[in-house]
Chain A
Amino acid sequence: MNTWSFEHPWFLLSVLAVAAIAWARTRARPATVQVSSVAILKQVKPTLRTRLHTLPDWLRGLALCLLVVALARPQQVDTEELSAEGLDIMIALDLSGSMNAIDMSDENIQKLHDDGREPDNRFEAARKILKDFIRGRKSDRIGLVIFGSEAYLRFPPTLDYIRLLNALDQLVLDDGRRTNNDRQNCHNDCTINGGGTAIGDALNRAWMRLDTSLDKNKQKSKSRSRMLILITDGKQEGGKLDPLTVPKYVASLPEKDRVKIFTFQVGSGKETRLPAYDPMRGAPIVDRFGHTVYQRPERPFPTDPELLAQIAQLTGGHFYDSYDAKKFANDFKDLEKTTFKTKVRTHRRELFWPWLLVGLGLLAVEVLLRRTWLRTIPG
């Protein structure tokens, strides 16, 4: 991106002064020689010189305008997103069974059904948002940790977004009702046991990966800024590590080694629906229009926003309470805006020199003309 701007745009108002001078000059009568009558002189065929007698005035006006522009200091501003100094980002995505819930009232679900669409559950919403996010990045290495009852690394930090997006696409939510057959069909570690929410383990995996992700020179990626994004809908359940272990450790590190953890609590809203499941057929219940039938959960899902807020606060990140899909998308946009937009460098190239030089040149030509070829009597 490069744009033009003025360092001191207020100076452009001096154009008004130039206009005032021009106006005053057209009103002021020049010194003249009175003759008897100009009736005949007027009819004399004009020469080049008489035709051009206003040229110096125009030149001066133009020169002053150019100088005004030079005074306002035009600059070419190149804003460049830095390619060399990308971030290392680890995303810890909750793949627990509750992620198949929908945070939407019955009326809204009905509305979507009327439009012939199925509502996105928490997992699908997160997947879409993450995909958009990844596509918007250029030079950040992004890795993915998924977690349920345990956590493991799905993809180490990479610039190979295509494969990362592929991995995201292949993720399958384990809603606890999958058959072993399903699990076998899913190659390549595309899912995880959804019967838990091991936040502590997930943070640990992600942190370890960030801390030890190596660049080509086998050095720790400490030279790069790092961040961790935790997306979850539940409360710590299962897992070996206390969720605050990693944040506390990170907080104890020297400033430059710290990693900010941004936490998203999805689906804390009141309206929560689960797809109805037919245990006999082992498949979701579908109504006669082919729409999935949703029902209220038997008991509300346990959430723990205080914990997430604490994690964010300890590490200098930010906690987002994304109670529904819409809010989630907005929150993620917000994160992108605050975290990534500052990473641009602006080059300012001064452009006033040509204006100044041409302006001064015109002034010189004007004075020269006035003194020589277009000198009038009386002066």
Chain B
Amino acid sequence: MTLAQQEKSISQRVREIEIIARRLVSSTLAGQYHAVFKGRGMSFDSVREYQPGDDIRTIDWNVSARTGGIFVKQYVEERELTVLLVVDLSESQKFGSKDKSKRELAAEIAAVLAFSAISNNDRVGLILYTDRIERYIPPKKGRGHVMRIVQELLRFQPAGKGTRTDVALDYVARIARKRAVVFVLSDFLGDGYDRSLGVLAGRHDVVPIVTADEVDKKWPILEGLWLLEDPETAEIVHFDANNAASVQDHWRQSAVAERKREQLARKFGMEPIPATVGMDYLKSLVAYFRRRAARQ
């Protein structure tokens, strides 16, 4: 595939994702996002003449006395919400055993969230990271901005290979002054981010979205002596898939690791959203929104 073709396919993909995301936002997710991520309190907007049916408690007496008419105060909901999408671009995210990689899945979900945010008139920012901060796009509004974010998500070539989720989370804590909604899209396969996650969760609304592939959890029925390589450390491991005990052991251990991650998230009052390649991530998104709305 030449560079031009690649460019074209990425543009196409951006377009596709925009369409998918918009459709989702206007249908499946319509209102869900809005209902869940509300602003904090109301702000004064203007005064208008009293009309029958208005709550007399809203009458602005000072203005009424000065003008001679009866005026009521009008408030608007404070919507200026900041959404930060923190996306893991490390090598492990490139893995995909089915139709797409975890990175593509993360890009798709991030795009849907970005479009949801923009339709709510929220500001959206993007942070791409590997073992360092690869790219930071400050939060802004507008469709053009979202398109830029989607393009970055698909096109960006990271320089790093490893995963340092703690670095990314610390960075977010440093740059986000106002309370923000932080979606962290990563496979969370590394560790050492507990403290950073706790600190960030204390000030912001952190939502981990755990991208995963079936193979990460359970070895498929593919027998043989496999030579498997870690894309980040280049470590090579022999895995005997003919051995039922080995496959079982792998499955059990990855389940344990997953449970640990979940416990960690819950400790900080977060609810991780699972997103597995090949499964309908919308379902888990919607389910999450519902649960969250019910809680409020």
Instruction: Give the B-binding residues of A (Cβ under 8 A).
Output: 29-47, 49-50, 53, 374-378
A-B contact pairs, 19 of them (CB 8 A): A29-B234, A31-B227, A32-B236, A33-B229, A34-B230, A36-B93, A36-B213, A37-B190, A37-B230, A37-B232, A39-B230, A40-B250, A44-B239, A44-B246, A49-B242, A50-B238, A374-B225, A376-B224, A377-B227
Number of B residues contacting the other chain (C-beta, 8 Å)?
39
Report chain B residues within 8 Å CB of A377: 222, 224-227
Q: Are the CB atoms of B102 and A36 closer together than 8 Å?
A: yes
Q: Determine if B32 is an interface residue (Cβ-Cβ < 8 Å).
A: no
Which of B216, B224, B227 is the one whose CB lies under 8 Å from A37?
B216
CB 8 Å contact bits of B209-234 with A (1 = contact, 0 = none): 00001011000001011111111111
Smallest beta-carbon distance B163→chain A, Å: 9
Give complex CA distance A40, B255 in Å: 10
Residue in chain A with minimal CB distance to B93? A36
Contacts of B222 in A (CB 8 A): 377
B237 within 8 A of A: yes
Complex: A47 Cα to B254 Cα, angstroms: 19
Q: Does any Cβ of A come within 8 Å of B245's Cβ?
A: yes
**A34→B229 contact, CB < 8 A:** yes
Minimum Cβ distance to chain B for residue A106 (Å): 88
Flag if B243 contacts A36 (CB, 8 Å). no
Chain B facing A: main interface SS: mixed
Q: Which residue of A lies closest to B232 (CB)?
A: A37
Binding site for A on B (CB under 8 A): 91-95, 102, 187, 189-190, 213, 215-216, 222, 224-240, 242-243, 245-246, 249-250, 253-254, 257
Across the interface, name the chain A residue whose C-beta is closest to B219.
A41
Q: Are B225 and A375 in contact, with the CB atoms below 8 A? A: yes
B238–A35 CB distance below 8 A: no
* Chief secondary structure at chain A's binding surface: loop
Residue contact B250 to A35, C-beta cutoff 8 Å: no
CB pair A41–B239 under 8 Å, yes or no, is yes
* Of A30, A43, A45, A49, the contact of B227 (CB 8 Å cutoff): A30
Report B253 CB to chain A, min CB distance, Å: 5
Which chain B residues border A30 with CB–CB below 8 Å?
Answer: 227, 236
Q: Contact: A37 with B225, CB < 8 Å?
A: no
A36-B95, A37-B232, A376-B225 given; A43·B238 CB < 8 A: no
**Known contacts A38-B229, A38-B230, A375-B224, then 8 further A-B pairs from the complex at CB < 8 Å, ordered by chain A residue:** A32-B227, A34-B229, A36-B92, A37-B230, A38-B237, A50-B246, A376-B224, A376-B227
* Distance of A202 Cα from B240 Cα, bound (Å): 93
Contacts of A44 in B (CB 8 A): 239, 246, 249-250, 253
Chain A residues whose C-beta falls within 8 Å of the C-beta of B237 in the assembled complex: 38, 41-42
Q: Is the CB of B246 within 8 A of A45?
A: yes
Taking the closest CB of chain B, its distance from the CB of A134, in whole angstroms, is: 73
Tell me the bound Cα distance from A43 to B256 in angstroms. Answer: 13
Whether the Cβ atoms of A35 and B242 lie closer than 8 Å is: no
A49–B240 touching, CB < 8 Å: yes
With A33-B227, A53-B225, A377-B226 already in contact, the answer to whether A45 and B245 are too (CB < 8 A) is yes
A47 x B189 contact (CB < 8 A):
no
Partner of A40, one of B190, B229, B231, B257: B257
- What residue in chain B is nearest A378 (Cβ atoms)? B227
Chain B residue contacts of A38, Cβ below 8 A = 228-230, 233, 235-237
**Distance in Å from the Cβ of B35 to the closest Cβ of chain A?**
34
In the complex, how many angstroms separate the beta carbon of A205 from the nearest chain B beta carbon? 89
Given contacts A40-B250, A41-B250, A44-B249, contact A32 B229 (CB under 8 A): yes
Q: Which residue from B93, B102, B238 sits with its C-beta under 8 Å from A376?
A: B238
Nearest 10 CB-CB pairings of A with B: A32-B229, A50-B238, A377-B224, A38-B230, A36-B92, A36-B95, A47-B240, A38-B237, A37-B189, A32-B227
Give every chain A residue within 8 A of B253 (Cβ-Cβ). Answer: 40, 43-44
Q: How far is the CA of A57 from the CA of B136 in the complex (A)?
A: 48
Contacts of A378 in B (CB 8 A): 227
Residue of A nearest to B101 (CB): A36
Q: Give min CB distance, B98 to chain A, whole Å.
A: 13
A374 contact set on B, CB distance < 8 A = 225
Given contacts A44-B246, A44-B249, contact A35 B240 (CB under 8 A): no
Contact in complex: B254, A40 (CB < 8 Å): yes
Bound together, the chains give a CA A219 to CA B232 distance in angstroms of 94
CB nearest to B212 among chain A residues: A36
Nearest CB of chain B from residue A10's CB, rounded to whole Å:
38
Give Cα distance in the complex from A47 to B243, angstroms.
Answer: 8
